[in-house]
Amino acid sequence: MFRRVLIANRGEIAQRVIRACRELGIETVAVYSSADADALYLRQADETICIGPPQSAKSYLDIPAIIAAAEVADADAIHPGYGFLAENDHFAEVCRSCKINFIGPTPEVIAALGDKVRARELARKAGVPIVPGSDGAVEDEKKALEVAQQIGYPIMIKAAAGGGGRGMRVARNEPSLVASFHQASSEAKAAFGDGTVYLEKFVENPRHIEVQILADEHGNIVHLGERDCSVQRRHQKLIEESPSPSLTPELRARICEAAVRVVREANYTNAGTVEFLLARDGSFYFIEVNARIQVEHTVTEMVTGLDLIQQQLLIASGERLAFKQEDVRWSGHAIECRINAEDPEKDFQPSPGKIELFVPPGGPGVRLDSHCYSGYRIPPNYDSMIGKLLVHRSTRDAAVRTMLRALDEFVIEGPKTTIPLHGSILRHSDFRAGDHDTGFVERYYGSHPAIPVKEPR
């Protein structure tokens, strides 16, 4: 096992990795930008190193600064967390050439899955359903029109270098397809340096189901079930839960087995997530793989009792998975609410600044992963997540009731937060019935999110 791990991240995930390392007897090195000098995770690490000014590009994204910190601190591994350098194949390659273990998949696998056209091809080869669409990249508008003629409208144009909702457009007829094709391609070129796009049939208001997997370096793969992430707004997830209220045991088994097939075809190692769209009629389609630990991994931790960060560390140090698929047991229902310092009444405008009073909820079935405290100043330079509030109860209904109780207990004075919005969503009859899809938030909380457009039935 590693002796010393450097965490190339900040906030709650830095703290989460420190906790996992502590329990495994691994020393930790935290890095920080000058904006994070008073962060809680710095007090919990064994060593801290300032890597630069507030701008991410000059600190948490600065590869030479992070590698230098790892060399100086004599770390034998780097955990990238999520965001920042977590899916940067070049960074993983630099780690390899410096003989530092990157806690994640190999650079080759990160690169292959980062190219959404290649990822789609891997899924197809693995016999996993993909959304009807183009056979690879679409080079020009003539080809785009041809493909659209074949599969029918509406069509989605996606950037090969995109993912997570970035660089996507919908076209409902030929003129709009031609315009959108060129727009999507130039946007992708500007944003990612690669204008390659591909086409898919547009699936209207799907549910978003993702499957957590673990894969060791000896060919062992297990899935840890799914998470339903359909409650999102503009590709920012608000609520995640497991199990999904929209899967039957049969459908669940098929999706989870499909996820394992994708991961095997990709030679994937470490923790990862396979994303699917689930249509109303029960058909599901692979969309992409997230080659990192995700924010919402905690939901799966609650229902499986596993520590996914410890599993990442064990896998990256070359160990075999200590359990088989049939040993994985799921219990009860977990829900996570992402609490952000944002004002839902002002189009989710970030609301950074000093937290005057922070009173965390607690009690049976409640977990809060947060790096915040009374007096903490939320820097304006990074994402606005204050923390992740989770509950674990024996049924979905009990979990919802415990979450409502915990949200009521949670006091954050100072910044505006998404706490009241979560309360409103959890009381909504469609959410209560599990009858919600990725269009739910826009539909009911479109203009003035705290006031439902249509009152819950």
Catalytic residues: 292
Q: Select from 176-184, 199-207, 254-262, 302-310 the region that touches ligand MV4 (CB under 6 A).
A: 199-207
- Between CA 103 and CA 207 the distance in angstroms is 30
- Between CA 259 and CA 75 the distance in angstroms is 33
Binding mask 425-444 for ligand MV4 (x = CB under 6 A): -------------x------
- Between CA 355 and CA 368 the distance in angstroms is 17
> What is the crossing angle of helices 107-114 and 116-125, to 10°?
100
Query: Residues binding ligand MV4: what is the number (CB under 6 A)?
Result: 17
Residue 337 touching ligand MV4 (CB under 6 A)? no
> What is the crossing angle of helices 141-151 and 174-192, to 10°?
120
Among 208, 252, 416, 436, binds ligand MV4 (CB under 6 A): 208
CB of 2 to ligand MV4, least distance (A): 32
Residue 152 touching ligand MV4 (CB under 6 A)? no
DSSP-derived pairing of the beta strands 77-79 and 4-7: parallel
- Residue among 26 and 184 whose Cβ is closer to ligand MV4: 184
Residue 277 touching ligand MV4 (CB under 6 A)? yes
CB of 165 to ligand MV4, least distance (A): 4
CB of 200 to ligand MV4, least distance (A): 4
Residue 164 touching ligand MV4 (CB under 6 A)? yes
Q: Return the residue matching tokens 């790096």.
A: 371
Residue 406 touching ligand MV4 (CB under 6 A)? no
Whether residue 361 contacts residue 410, with contact meaning beta carbons closer than 8 Å, is answered with yes
Residue 232 touching ligand MV4 (CB under 6 A)? yes
CB of 92 to ligand MV4, least distance (A): 22
CB of 239 to ligand MV4, least distance (A): 12
Q: Return the residue matching tokens 């924010």.
A: 295
- For 37, counting Cβ atoms within 10 Å of its Cβ (0-12 exposed, 13-18 middle, 19+ buried), the class is exposed
Q: Select from 198-206, 336-344, 419-427, 447-455 the region that touches ligand MV4 (CB under 6 A).
A: 198-206
Residue 287 touching ligand MV4 (CB under 6 A)? yes
Residue 184 touching ligand MV4 (CB under 6 A)? no
CB of 143 to ligand MV4, least distance (A): 18
Q: Select from 22-30, 40-48, 194-202, 400-408 the region that touches ligand MV4 (CB under 6 A).
A: 194-202
- Residue among 188 and 313 whose Cβ is closer to ligand MV4: 188
CA 166 to chain centre: 14
- Between CA 455 and CA 457 the distance in angstroms is 6
- Between CA 221 and CA 211 the distance in angstroms is 12
Residue 375 touching ligand MV4 (CB under 6 A)? no
Q: Measuring CA to CA, which residue among 376, 375, 371 is closest to residue 386?
A: 371
Residue 131 touching ligand MV4 (CB under 6 A)? yes
Residue 275 touching ligand MV4 (CB under 6 A)? yes
- Between CA 213 and CA 211 the distance in angstroms is 6
Among 87, 115, 200, 343, binds ligand MV4 (CB under 6 A): 200
CB of 148 to ligand MV4, least distance (A): 13
Q: Return the residue matching tokens 């923390």.
A: 387
- Residue among 68 and 279 whose Cβ is closer to ligand MV4: 279
**42 half-sphere exposure, CB direction, 13 A CA radius:** 13
CB of 101 to ligand MV4, least distance (A): 29
- Residue among 43 and 172 whose Cβ is closer to ligand MV4: 172
- Between CA 111 and CA 24 the distance in angstroms is 30
Going through 191-263 in order, the beta strands assigned E by DSSP cover: 197-201, 207-215, 221-233, 236-242
CB of 205 to ligand MV4, least distance (A): 8
Q: Return the residue matching tokens 């999102």.
A: 232
Pair of tokens at residue 35: 């904006």
Query: What is the amino acid identity at position 119?
Result: A
Among 115, 226, 288, 343, binds ligand MV4 (CB under 6 A): 288
Residue 202 touching ligand MV4 (CB under 6 A)? yes
- Residue among 153 and 323 whose Cβ is closer to ligand MV4: 153
What's phi and psi for 81, nearest 5 deg?
65, -145
- Residue among 41 and 202 whose Cβ is closer to ligand MV4: 202
What contacts 68, CB < 8 A, 6 or more positions away? none
Among 117, 203, 260, 339, binds ligand MV4 (CB under 6 A): 203
Whether residue 334 contacts residue 302, with contact meaning beta carbons closer than 8 Å, is answered with yes
Residue 263 touching ligand MV4 (CB under 6 A)? no
DSSP-derived pairing of the beta strands 4-7 and 236-242: unpaired
Positions that interact with ligand MV4 (CB under 6 A): 131, 156, 164-165, 200-203, 206, 208, 232, 235, 275, 277, 287-288, 438
